[in-house]
Amino acid sequence: MSITGSLAGIALLSGTAVAANLGKWGPTIQFPLVPVAAAVIPSTAELLVWSAYRNDSFQTGAQNVTQTAVWTPTNNVVKYFEVAYTDHDMFCPGVSFDFNGDLIVTGGDTAPATSILNPNTWQWTKAPNMQLARGYQSSATLSDGRVFTIGGSWSGGLAVKNGEVWDGSKWTLLNGCDGKPMLTADRQGIFRQDNHAWLFGWKSGSVFQAGPSKAMNWYFTSGTGSWSAAGTRNNDGDAMCGPAVMYDATAGKILTAGGSPNYQDSLATNNAYLITIGTPGNKPSVETLRKMRYARIFSTSTVLPDGSVLVLGGQTYGHPFSDANSTQVPELWNPNTKSWKQLVAGPTPRAYHSVSVLMPNGTVFNGGGGLCGNCGSSNHFDGQLFSPPYLFKSDGITPAVRPTISKVSASTVGLGKSLQATISNPSGGSMTFSLIRMGSSTHTVNTDQRRVPVTPSSSSGSVYTLPIPSDVGVVTPGYWYLWAMSSGVPGTAQIIKITP
Ligand SMILES: *[C@@H]1O[C@H](CO)[C@@H](O)[C@H](O)[C@H]1NC(C)=O
Ligand SMILES: *[C@@H]1O[C@H](CO)[C@@H](O)[C@H](O)[C@H]1NC(C)=O
Ligand SMILES: *[C@@H]1O[C@H](CO)[C@@H](O)[C@H](O)[C@H]1NC(C)=O
Ligand SMILES: *[C@@H]1O[C@H](CO)[C@@H](O)[C@H](O)[C@H]1NC(C)=O
Ligand SMILES: [Cu+2]
């Protein structure tokens, strides 16, 4: 049978209309709060989500507790925890996993604060304040294990906020990492112009800032810091609250999707670009890609094991705390054809304050939206798992036959070393492998996720030898999902720790 045409998601196979494989939305998972931030915690692969000092509303300033919840996928139980002992309302923060899998959460409603979650004990610790109070800054883990942050005038005062680094015991201001070159021209001023930087930790302690400003920049974190301009994304303007994802770190490839010149009350774009970075300080190459079908601000992007990128949610016109103009049709970007495919629409609008995180079984959690107090239906106390098309046969209904990683030789592996993975491959498809760093998501930002393709150096029967690349700027140490795919169908990931 051959595909003879397609119309509105229906493929016509030899004259008979059958459902195309456009993915599937799973049952709704209810939370006791609006999940505005989310991360899969490596030790147990449970999903941590949080809102603000309340479960449905926020207030910048003196609040000092955070409402959190943990969803356990294996038994579908959601537990609620209030975290009070770090004196930190972690709403609108910067979030980064460090080399040990500690979740470093900075600023937001309590603008100077730092809280750290130990993934093994599930205990939060209060850490020293940042040098500058920040909210809507983003942060990125560096190749030397420190964590860099910049910007964040949404709370803690309006100012050009230069970069600073966390070294595990204290924050140090890097005044040479100038906050000015990364400002957008948002009409609300500095309050919005330094929000949600697209930061990628890279080689030699550098950070590539791919947006959302029209200008891209390199930040260098040795000594007192420095920066250099890195050009523009061709004709793209400021792209606030559009996502950017490093879908192939080995090749330095970053996809950007949408955004808007202003944080609110402004049309989004459907622009897409492919940025390829190499040596720190060099100008990256930028390719203008085919546009998405839908313009989007406040969407999320998640890189999948096969290197495709799933863009979910958002709205065509930026209006925080509103479900109006929602884009509920997912779009899946294929890195080989560089084209977008529309998938089955989600039942729930997910725009401002929504999150997406890749789960170990190859589904994507998409949840939240709102946190606006008495705004009623715009508060979404829930989420759903989206199953991408790779989890189904071509009929879009029958589950695909998936490979299994029955054994890995070690759960911790050093950069440049190898792992042996024993694979059961019942479908007999050709095996490929990849690594994806476990992510955290809030406000369109997920600086933790990045994908690294892995080519087996040898195989013997069902045992594959998988070399872990050696560049610490590319394979940021920490916890990673290891994926085995059979003809592009992923099994369940093994969670491994990569050490420097
Ligand atoms: C949110 O918290 C309030 C108390 O502050 C509670 O009455 C309400 O039931 C909670 N909402 C949900 C969905 O759990
Ligand atoms: C914050 O916590 C302190 C005690 O740690 C308490 O005295 C104070 O009232 C709290 N502030 C708010 C706004 O809840
Ligand atoms: C993924 O895990 C969730 C939670 O356990 C489950 O509901 C879902 O069916 C799983 N999907 C696949 C494709 O394994
Ligand atoms: C929906 O989008 C249009 C522009 O396309 C805009 O004029 C309108 O204000 C938006 N609606 C809301 C409620 O934001
Ligand atoms: Cu926010």
Q: Which atom of ligand 4 is nearest to the CA of 317?
A: 2
What whole-number distance in Å separates Cα of residue 448 and Cα of residue 41?
A: 12
Side chain identity at residue 122, one-letter code: W
Q: Which ligand is nearest to the CA of 267?
A: 4
Show the ligand 3 pocket: residues with CB < 6 angstroms.
Answer: 26, 73-74, 361, 363, 385, 387, 391
| Residue 241 scores a pLDDT above 80 | yes
Ligand 2 near 397 CB (within 6 A)? no
| Residue 83 scores a pLDDT above 60 | yes
Confidence of residue 61 (pLDDT cuts 50, 70, 90): confident
Averaged pLDDT, 431-436: 98
What whole-number distance in Å separates Cα of residue 42 and Cα of residue 33?
A: 22
Q: Which ligand is nearest to the CA of 264?
A: 4
Strand spans (E) along 57-162 = 66-72, 77-83, 94-97, 103-106, 114-117, 124-127, 138-141, 147-150
In what helix (H) or strand (E) does residue 190 lie, and over which residues does it extend? helix 190-193
| Residue 129 scores a pLDDT above 50 | yes
Locate 271 and state its tokens.
Answer: 């622009």
φ, ψ (nearest 5 deg) of residue 180? -65, -45
Averaged pLDDT, 143-160: 98
Instruction: Kindly give the distance from the C-alpha atom of residue 56 to the centroid of ligand 1, in angstroms, as a whole number.
Output: 8
| Residue 5 scores a pLDDT above 60 | no
Burial 213-224 (b: 16+ CB within 10 A, else e): bbbbbbbbbeee
Show the ligand 1 pocket: residues with CB < 6 angstroms.
Answer: 32, 54-56, 381
The predicted pLDDT at position 19 comes to 64
Mean pLDDT taken over the chain: 95
Ligand 2 near 143 CB (within 6 A)? no
Residue of the CA atom closest to atom 12 of ligand 2: 63
What contacts 345, CB < 8 A, 6 or more positions away? 328, 329, 330
CA-based angle 333:218:104, to the nearest 5?
A: 75
Q: Which ligand is nearest to the CA of 93?
A: 5
Could you read off the pLDDT of 255-270 as tens digits, one per residue?
Answer: 999 999 999 999 999 9
User: What is the torsion angle, in degrees rounded to the nearest 10, for the CA atoms of residue 293, residue 297, residue 298 and residue 301?
Assistant: 40
Mutation test of ligand 2: which of 87, 89, 90, 109 has the most ligand atoms closer than 8 Å to its C-beta?
A: 87
What whole-number distance in Å separates Cα of residue 362 and Cα of residue 492?
A: 7
Could you read off the pLDDT of 155-165 as tens digits, one per residue?
Answer: 999 999 999 99
| Residue 6 scores a pLDDT above 70 | no
| Residue 1 scores a pLDDT above 50 | no
The catalytic site residues sit at 352
What whole-number distance in Å separates Cα of residue 440 and Cα of residue 197?
A: 15
What contacts 381, CB < 8 A, 6 or more positions away? 30, 31, 32, 33, 34, 55, 56
Half-sphere exposure of 148 (CA within 13 A, CB side): 34
Confidence of residue 182 (pLDDT cuts 50, 70, 90): very high
Instruction: Kindly give the distance from the C-alpha atom of residue 427 to the centroid of ligand 5, in angstroms, as a whole number.
Output: 45
Residue of the CA atom closest to atom 5 of ligand 3: 73
pTM over 0.85: yes
| Residue 16 scores a pLDDT above 80 | no
Averaged pLDDT, 414-442: 98
Show the ligand 4 pocket: residues with CB < 6 angstroms.
Answer: 316-317, 319, 322, 324-325
Confidence of residue 3 (pLDDT cuts 50, 70, 90): very low
Lowest mean pLDDT among 59-63, 217-221, 490-494: 59-63
Instruction: Kindly give the distance from the C-alpha atom of residue 186 to the centroid of ligand 2, in angstroms, as a whole number.
Output: 34
Could you read off the pLDDT of 346-367 as tens digits, one per residue?
Answer: 999 999 999 999 999 999 999 9
Q: Which atom of ligand 1 is nearest to the CA of 31?
A: 13
Could you read off the pLDDT of 319-340 as tens digits, one per residue?
Answer: 999 999 999 999 999 999 999 9
Instruction: Kindly give the distance from the C-alpha atom of residue 325 to the centroid of ligand 4, in angstroms, as a whole number.
Output: 6
Q: Which atom of ligand 2 is nearest to the CA of 53?
A: 14
| Residue 7 scores a pLDDT above 50 | no
User: Is residue 196 within 8 Å of 136, Cβ to Cβ?
Assistant: yes
Q: Which atom of ligand 2 is nearest to the CA of 62?
A: 13
Q: What is the DSSP string of 464-477?
A: EEEEPP--TTTS-S
Side chain identity at residue 329, one-letter code: V
Residues forming a β-bridge with 141? 147
Confidence of residue 245 (pLDDT cuts 50, 70, 90): very high
